[in-house]
Structure 1
Amino acid sequence: MGHYVTIATCNLNQWALDFEGNRDRIIQSIIDAKKQGAQLRVGPELEVCGYGCLDHFSENDVYDHSWEVYGEILKHPDTQGIVLDIGIPIIHKSIKYNCRVISYNGEILLIRPKIYLANDGNYREMRYFTPWNRKYYHELYQLPKLIQEITGQSRVVIGDCVIETLETKLGPETCEELFTPESPHITMALDGVEIFTNSSGSHHELRKLDTRLQLITEATKKCGGVYLYANQKGCDGDRLYYDGCACIVVNGEMVAQGSQFSLSDVEVVSATIDLDDVRSYRNQKSAAIQTVNKTQTYHSIETKIELSPSSLVFDPLVKPTKPIPIKYHLPQEEIALGPACWLWDYLRRSKCAGFFLPLSGGIDSCATAVIVHSMCRLVVASIKDGNEQVLKDVQMLTHESDFIPKTPQEVAARLFYTSFMGTVNSSIDTRSRAKELSEKVGSYHIDMNMDTLVTAVVNVFEVATGKKPIFKIFGGSVTENLALQNIQARLRMVLSYLFAQLLPWTRNKQGGLLVLGSANVDECLRGYLTKYDCSSADINPIGGISKTDLKAFIAWAKTSFDIPNLEEFLTATPTAELEPITENYVQSDEIDMGMTYDELSRFGRLRKVDKCGPLGMFIKLYHEWSQAPYNYSAEVIAEKVKRFWFFYAINRHKMTTMTPAYHAEQYSPDDNRFDLRPFLINPRFPFASKKIDQIVEKINAREKEIKESNISVD
C-alpha cells in the first residue's frame, strides 16, 4: 500500500530589501503549490528579505522588517493548510543567524539556523551571520511580540532539529551544507529522515549547473530519500544571476525540474512521491547497519500533520511522478540566456528608458548587442506565453500602455540604442558590420565620426605645452602612441554618457539610458583596456565571459538567431582600431598583448581557480606546454608567465574601477566582490622570477644531458 505525498519547491525572483514584492511572490508561490495539490512548499534562502542584502544585514531594520513581512505571510488566508519552509534572517541572543522557519496553519514548528556558511568567492556570509555549529543542539527562541499575537506562541524551538509528521520525517538543509564534506542529509538519513528540503541562493556560472545537480542527485542516490531544492532566480541587485533549477529528486532520480533561465518571477514545480519507494530503496544491509550503529539522534518536533491523507491511498487519479532526464543548457545557450535575464531585471527595476551601447564592429560589442537581442526575444516569448508581469514591465518602460510587441526588433526599437563612434583610424569594414548588426537586431543606431573632438583635445594639449604628440608609426614614442590611443577611448566614454542622457529626449521619450560596457574577462585580467574608456559603463553583461566562449556564442547565435553577418565578426582580426591603419600595419589585440586569448584563459584559471603564483604557474604550464601541440621551450614558457604577471600587476589598479559585470566565470578578476587582491604589486615578482630562472637552467641542463646520452648510444 503506497504512502503518496505531493510536495512542491520553487524558483523566486526575489530582490534585496524589496520586502513587499518578496512577500507577494512568496504568497503567490504558496497559492500555486496548493493548486498543484502540494502538502509541503519549500522556498529559496533568505527569500523574505532577499539573499543579496550584503552589508544591509548589519542593520537591525532588516530583521524587524523580515519578521513583519513573515507575519503577514503567516496569517494570510491562502497560506493555510500546507507546511511552509521559508528563509528569513533572525537575531537570537543578540547574534544574527541565516535561518529557515517551518510552519503549519499559522503555527511555527521550528527555526532552523544554517550550520555551514558560504564564505568564499562571491559569498561573505560569515561577515553577516554566525554559524549554528552545535550539531543536534536546540534551545528555545523568544518570538517577537507581533508574531506572538499571530501564532499564540511565546517561544519555539530553534536549532538543528527535524520535523515528524504522522507518516514521515522532514529535515532541512541550507545551500552550502549540500556542498560540504559533512552534509547534514547524511546523518539525517541515518536517523530516519525521508524528505530533505534545501533553500538555496546559488548563482550562475558557465558549466556549473552539472556540479550542483550531481551533488543533489548523489545526496539521495547514496542514502535514499526525497530531496527538494529551491533556489532564487534572477538579478538580486548585484553582479550575480541566480539561476533557479528548483528540483525534486527521489532516490537519485530527477522527477521535477524548474527552468534555469526565464523572465517568470514565480515558478513552482511539484511531484507526487511514494514514501514506500524510499523505504524499499533504503532496505539495504550496509545502510541498515550504519543506521542502528548511529548513537546520536536529532531532536524531533512531533506534529499531527498528515502529509499523506488516507483518502489518497486508493485514489486512481493519484500516482507517483515518473523520473525525467536532467536538462542542461549548452554554454552558448547559457551566455544567451543568463546575461539577458540579468539585463532585463536590471532595466525594469532601475526603470530607465533602455540601453546604450557603443557598437564598435568588434566581437565584444557584437556579443553584447546579441545578448540584448536575446533579452528582447525572451520578452516577446514571455508575453506570447501569457506572462502579464513582463507585459506590464515593457509597457512601463516604453510608456506605451497599449504596446504589445510581436517581434524582438519592436522591443529593441524602443529600448536599445547603439552608436558607431568612428575616427580616421576606423575601417570601413567595422563601420559597416556595426550598421548591419544594428539593423538586424532593430536598435536605434547613430553612425558618427568623432575626429573633431579628438583633434580639439590634442590641440588643447599642444597649446598648453607647445608639444604635439604623434603616433609611433609616424616616429612618435611609445608614451605618445599610448596617450593618443587612450584619449580616443576615453572620449568615447564621455560621448556614451552624453548620448545616453539625451538620445531619448531627441525622440520625445522620457528618462535616460543605461550605458553598457563590453570588455571581456580576459581583457580585464590582462588589463588590456583604457581606464575610464568605453569599457567604463553602468553594467557589463560580458565582463565575466572569456573571448573563447564569446566566439563560440556568436557562432551559435549566427544560426540560432538567424543573423548571418555574425560570421564577419568571427573572421575579423580582433583590433582596438586606435592606431592609424597603413599599407603595412593594422593593429592587432593579440600582438599588442603578447599572448593569445586562449593563453590568457589558461593563465586566469591557474591564477584564480588553482591558486597558483608565478612559480606554481610556470611548473604547471611547463608540463602542459612543453608537450604537443605547443612544444614550447622552458625559456618561452617562462617568458610568457613573467609577461602575464607583469601586465596583470601593473594593470591591477584598473580592476578597482571596473564596471559591475555579470559574473559568469570562476577566474573573474573583479576587485570589488570576487577577487580581493592588492592593486600595487611589484610587477617583476623578483623572488619568484629567480626561482623560475633556476628551474629553467636545470631543465636545460637535464635536456642537454639526455641529448648527449642519446648521441653516445647511437
Structure 2
Amino acid sequence: MAPLVTLATCALNQWSLDFAGNLKRIKESIIIAKEAGATLRVGPELEIPGYGCLDHFLENEVYENSWDSLYSILTDTSLHGIVIDVGLPLLHRNCRYNSRAIILDGKIICLRPKLYLANDGNFREMRFFTPWNRPRHVEQYYLPPLIQKHQGRRHVPIGDVVVSTIDTCFAAETCEELFTPNAPHIDMGLNGVEIFLNSSGSHHSLRKLDTRVALIQEATLKNGGVYLYANQLGCDGDRLYYDGCAMIFVNGKLVGQSSQFSLNDVEVVTATIDLDEVRSFRSAPSRGMQAVAAPEYQRIELDYSLSQDDLDFDRRKPPTAPRPPRYHLPEEEIALGPACWLWDYLRRSRAAGYFVPLSGGIDSCATATIVFSMCRLVIAAVKEGNQQVITDVKRIAAFSAKLPETPEELCNQIFYTCYMGMENQSSKETRERAKALSERIGSYHTDVNIDDMFHSTKNILTRATGFEPKFRAHGGTVTSNLSLQNIQARSRMVLAYYFAQQLCEVRERPSGGSLLVLGSSNVDECLRGYLTKYDCSSADINPIGSISKVDLKRFIAWAEKDFDMPILKDFIEATPTAELEPITADYVQSDEVDMQMTYAQLSRFGTLRKVHHLGPYGMFLLLNEEWGGEGGLSSREIAHKVNRSTLLPLGLANTEKVKLFFHFHQINRHKQTVATPAYHAESYSPDDHRFDLRPFLYPPAFESWSFKKIDDRVEALEKRNKKGE
C-alpha cells in the first residue's frame, strides 16, 4: 500500500509586534490543518513576532515575548497530534538567529536557524541576525527555564538538521536559501529528504511570482520531492505587501496554491501526497551516484508517522491532482496588491478613511481607482461572510448602521476626493474628468479654486522686496516660473491635510476621526525628481509611488473594461500635465516636454541604474546597442542633446540624453529622502528610506569622470563611422 501523507502550508496576515494577534492566527492555521487531516504544518518566516520588526529584533523583549508565544503553543493540547514548524527569533550564545522550531505534541524536537540571510533591496537581516553559516553543523541550545520545566530537559538540538520520522524524512530551508545558487535542498534531497519546508517572508513586486514558482518547480523537478512553501500575507507595518501564495509542489508539479492577494487573515493549503511517487522519481542512476557522494546530515529521530493508516482504507484521501499555477496579469497585480495593502493600513491605523487631491490626470486617477478596487474587494469579502472584514467595516463605515452593499456605498463613506484648481492654469477638461471619476466610484467630492491662496502667498514676497515674479508665459524668468509653480503645488499639500482633518467633522461622522492623505506620484517622476518637494505628492502613504507610468497606463486600460469604468478612457488619452503654468492659445504644459524624456525612457533608465547596476558610461554603452542600429538613434543622439533651447538657462547647451537623466536624478536625489512611504512594486524604485541606499549630495554630474568617457567614446565612434563612409 502506497504511503500517503497529508501536508499543510499557510499564508498568515501577521503584524509586527502583534504577539496576541499573531498567536491567534498561528493557532487557527494549525487547527484548520488538523481538521483537514494534515500531519505536518509549516508557517511563515518569523511568524510569531512578525517578519518586519526591523530594529526591534535588537531588543531582548522581542525574544522573550516570542518564547511566551511559543510556550502557549506548546501547552495548548488542541494543537497536539500534528508536526508544527513555526518561525521565531532566537538568542543563542549571545547571537541572534532567524529560526524555526519543529514541535510535536507540546515538545520541541529541534531548532533550525537560517543559514543565508536576505540582505539586499528591502531586506537588512544581517543588521539584526547572524547567519548560521555552518551547513550540517548541529549543537545544543539551552532552553529558557520555563521551557526547560515544560520540556523536561535543559537543551534541544539546534542547527542544520534533517528529521527522520517512521515513514519519511523532512527538512527546512528558509526563504532566501531557496534563491541561493547552491540551495540547501540540493544536498538535503541527495541525503534522502523527501519533504522540504520553506518558511518565507517574501514581499510582492510586479511579476515576481514567476520567479518563486520557477525556483520551487526546478528544485523538485530536478531532485524530486515535496516542497511546502509558506509565506506572510498583508501589510505588517511597512512599505511592503507580503503576497501570500502558499504552495505545495511534488516532483515539479503544483498540487496546492493559496491566494496571492486576499483580505483573509488565515489561508491554509493542504495536499495529499503519495511518497512512492517521490521514490520512483529518484530512480535515475546518475542521481544515485551523486547521492552516495553527498555530505551527510545529522538526523533527528522522531517516533511519529506522517502517513495515513494503511488499514483504514475507506477514510484514506487520494493523492491531490496536479494543477497549473495561477498567475495574475501585472495590471491585476496593481489592482489587487496596493488595494489589499491600503485596506490593512486603514483598518490597523484606525483612521476614518482616505483623502486624495484628484487632479484629473492619470496618476491621481490610478490612486483613486486602486481605492475603488479596495472597496470592491472589501464588499466581496463581506458578502462571503469574512467576519474580520465585517467587524472592520462596521467600525470604519460609521455613517450608516447597516453594512454598505456596493463598492460605491463604501467608497462614499471612506474615500474623499478634491479638485484643487487655478483659474488660468486648470483646464475645464481636467476638472470635469475629476468630477466624473468621483461620481463613478462614489467618493465624497469637493471642488475648490486656490487662486486666493496662491496670490496671497505670491504677494508676500512682493510686499517684502518690491519684486514681482512672473510666469514664463508672461515674460518671467525660469526661476520665477518655477517658484510660482511650486507655490501652487505646496498650497495643495497644505489644503489636502486641512481637508483631511476637517471633512469628517463637516459631514458629522458619528465617531469622528480624520483621514489619511494618499500621494499620487509615480516611480518615474520620483526617479527623475519631476515633483515639488513637499507638494501634493507629499502624503501619509502612496499606493503608486513604486509603479511606473507605463504600468499605470496599462492598469487604467485594464480597469476601464474589468471595472466597467468608461470614464477611464479619457484619462488614458489625455496628455500628462502638471497644469502649473498658465494655459495660452499655443501652449499647454506637458510632463514629457518638461522632463525632456519620455516615461518609457525613464523606466528603462531606472531599470538599468538599479537592477543592472549601471553607471552613466555603462548605461550609454548598453543603450548605444539597444537604441542604435539601422533606423535607430545615433551614438550622439543617444548621448547628446535632447532639447537645447530649454537647457540653455541651466548652462547645459550641449547636454546628452544619458547624461541628462543622471544630472536630474542626482540633483534631485534629496527629494527622495522625504518621499512619501510607497507600496513597493517596481524593482527600480528610488526609495531612499529602505530600498535604494545611495547618497543625496553628488559631485557636479557634468564634470564627472564617467561623462568624459561618454564624450570620448562618442567622438571615437563618429571618427570610425566617418572613415567608413
> What TM-score range do you get, normalising by the shorter chain?
over 0.9
Q: Is the 1:86–1:101 contact (alpha carbons within 8 Å) kept by the matching residues of 2?
A: yes
User: What are the residue-to-residue correspondences of 1:384-395 with 2, within 5 Å?
Assistant: 384-395=383-394
Which residue matches 2:25? 25
Give SS of 2:697's match.
coil
Give SS of 2:314's match.
coil
Q: Is the 2:77–2:105 contact (alpha carbons within 8 Å) kept by the matching residues of 1?
A: no
Is 1:285 the counterpart of 2:285? The answer is: yes
Is 1:413 the counterpart of 2:430? The answer is: no
Q: Is the 1:312–1:318 contact (alpha carbons within 8 Å) kept by the matching residues of 2?
A: no
Which residue matches 2:715? 697
Query: Is the alpha carbon distance of 1:304 and 1:636 closer, same or farther for their aligned partners in structure 2, counting shifts above 3 Å?
Result: closer
d(CA) in 1 for partners of 2:275, 2:112: 24
Give SS of 1:530's match.
coil
Q: Is the 2:273–2:319 contact (alpha carbons within 8 Å) kept by the matching residues of 1?
A: yes
Which residue matches 1:481? 481
Which residue matches 2:529? 527
Which residue matches 2:513? 511
Q: Post-superposition shift, 1:631?
A: 2.9
Which residue matches 1:590? 592
Which residue matches 1:687? 705
Is 1:325 the counterpart of 2:342? The answer is: no
User: What are the residue-to-residue correspondences of 1:238-277 with 2, within 5 Å?
Assistant: 238-277=238-277
Q: Post-superposition shift, 1:688?
A: 1.0
> Amino acid of the residue matched to residue 640 of structure 1?
K
Which residue matches 2:649? none
Which residue matches 2:651? none
Q: Post-superposition shift, 1:267?
A: 0.1
Q: Is the 1:626–1:634 contact (alpha carbons within 8 Å) kept by the matching residues of 2?
A: no
Moved over 6 A (4+): none
> Amino acid of the residue matched to residue 484 of structure 2?
L
Q: Post-superposition shift, 1:397?
A: 1.4
Q: Post-superposition shift, 1:105?
A: 0.2
Q: Post-superposition shift, 1:316?
A: 6.0
Is 1:539 the counterpart of 2:556? The answer is: no
Q: Is the 1:46–1:89 contact (alpha carbons within 8 Å) kept by the matching residues of 2?
A: yes
User: What are the residue-to-residue correspondences of 1:527-676 with 2, within 5 Å?
Assistant: 527-627=529-629, 630-638=632-640, 639-676=656-693
d(CA) in 1 for partners of 2:620, 2:367: 34
> Amino acid of the residue matched to residue 31 of structure 1?
I
Which residue matches 1:496? 496
Which residue matches 1:15? 15
> What is the aligned-residue identity percentage?
62
Q: Post-superposition shift, 1:149?
A: 3.0
Q: Is the 2:635–2:717 contact (alpha carbons within 8 Å) kept by the matching residues of 1?
A: no
Q: Is the 2:257–2:269 contact (alpha carbons within 8 Å) kept by the matching residues of 1?
A: yes
Q: Deviations over 1:177-225 (max 9, x none)?
A: 0000111101000101000000000010101110111001111000000
Is 1:351 the counterpart of 2:350? The answer is: yes
Count of residue correspondences: 706
Q: Post-superposition shift, 1:288?
A: 1.0
> Amino acid of the residue matched to residue 432 of structure 1?
E
d(CA) in 1 for partners of 2:133, 2:223: 23
Q: Post-superposition shift, 1:635?
A: 4.0
Greater Cα offset, 145-154 or 73-82? 145-154
> Amino acid of the residue matched to residue 364 of structure 2?
S
Gapped regions of structure 2 (runs ≥ 5): 641-655
d(CA) in 1 for partners of 2:242, 2:149: 35
> Amino acid of the residue matched to residue 574 of structure 1?
P
User: What are the residue-to-residue correspondences of 1:81-96 with 2, within 5 Å?
Assistant: 81-96=81-96
d(CA) in 2 for partners of 1:422, 1:674: 35
d(CA) in 1 for partners of 2:634, 2:341: 41
Give SS of 2:147's match.
helix
C-alpha RMSD of the superposition:
1.1
Give SS of 2:577's match.
coil
Which residue matches 1:114? 114
> Amino acid of the residue matched to residue 75 of structure 1?
T
d(CA) in 2 for partners of 1:551, 1:533: 23
d(CA) in 2 for partners of 1:35, 1:232: 22
d(CA) in 2 for partners of 1:390, 1:198: 29
Q: Deviations over 1:23-48 (max 9, x none)?
A: 00000000111111100000000000
d(CA) in 2 for partners of 1:632, 1:696: 9
Q: Post-superposition shift, 1:685?
A: 4.7
Task: Please report the TM-score for the alignment, with normalisation by the length of structure 1.
Answer: 0.98
User: What are the residue-to-residue correspondences of 1:304-343 with 2, within 5 Å?
Assistant: 304-311=303-310, 314-315=313-314, 317-343=316-342
Q: Is the 2:528–2:664 contact (alpha carbons within 8 Å) kept by the matching residues of 1?
A: yes
Q: Is the 1:486–1:530 contact (alpha carbons within 8 Å) kept by the matching residues of 2?
A: yes
Which residue matches 1:302? 301
Q: Deviations over 1:370-393 (max 9, x none)?
A: 000000000001111111100101
> Amino acid of the residue matched to residue 702 of structure 2?
R
Q: Post-superposition shift, 1:633?
A: 4.0
Give SS of 2:11's match.
strand
Q: Post-superposition shift, 1:317?
A: 4.5
Which residue matches 2:227? 227
Q: Is the 1:621–1:637 contact (alpha carbons within 8 Å) kept by the matching residues of 2?
A: no
Q: Post-superposition shift, 1:401?
A: 8.2
Q: Deviations over 1:603-628 (max 9, x none)?
A: 00010000000000100010011135
d(CA) in 2 for partners of 1:153, 1:286: 44
d(CA) in 2 for partners of 1:468, 1:146: 75
Query: Is the alpha carbon distance of 1:596 and 1:632 closer, same or farther for their aligned partners in structure 2, counting shifts above 3 Å?
Result: farther
Q: Is the 2:620–2:638 contact (alpha carbons within 8 Å) kept by the matching residues of 1?
A: no
Greater Cα offset, 313-322 or 369-378? 313-322
d(CA) in 1 for partners of 2:77, 2:538: 49
Give SS of 2:550's match.
helix
Q: Post-superposition shift, 1:637?
A: 2.8
d(CA) in 2 for partners of 1:293, 1:626: 51
Is 1:442 the counterpart of 2:442? The answer is: yes
Which residue matches 1:138? 138
Which residue matches 2:403? 404
d(CA) in 1 for partners of 2:591, 2:464: 33
Give SS of 1:310's match.
coil
d(CA) in 2 for partners of 1:137, 1:248: 28
Q: Is the 2:627–2:638 contact (alpha carbons within 8 Å) kept by the matching residues of 1?
A: no
Q: Post-superposition shift, 1:80?
A: 0.8
Which residue matches 1:72? 72
d(CA) in 1 for partners of 2:226, 2:440: 48
Q: Is the 1:191–1:297 contact (alpha carbons within 8 Å) kept by the matching residues of 2?
A: yes
Q: Post-superposition shift, 1:313?
A: 6.3
Query: Is the alpha carbon distance of 1:174 and 1:401 closer, same or farther for their aligned partners in structure 2, counting shifts above 3 Å?
Result: farther
Which residue matches 1:711? none
Which residue matches 2:362? 363
Q: Deviations over 1:216-264 (max 9, x none)?
A: 1111000000000000010010000011110000000000001100100
d(CA) in 2 for partners of 1:558, 1:629: 35
Give SS of 2:692's match.
coil
d(CA) in 1 for partners of 2:631, 2:100: 53
Give SS of 1:315's match.
helix
Greater Cα offset, 513-522 or 679-688? 679-688
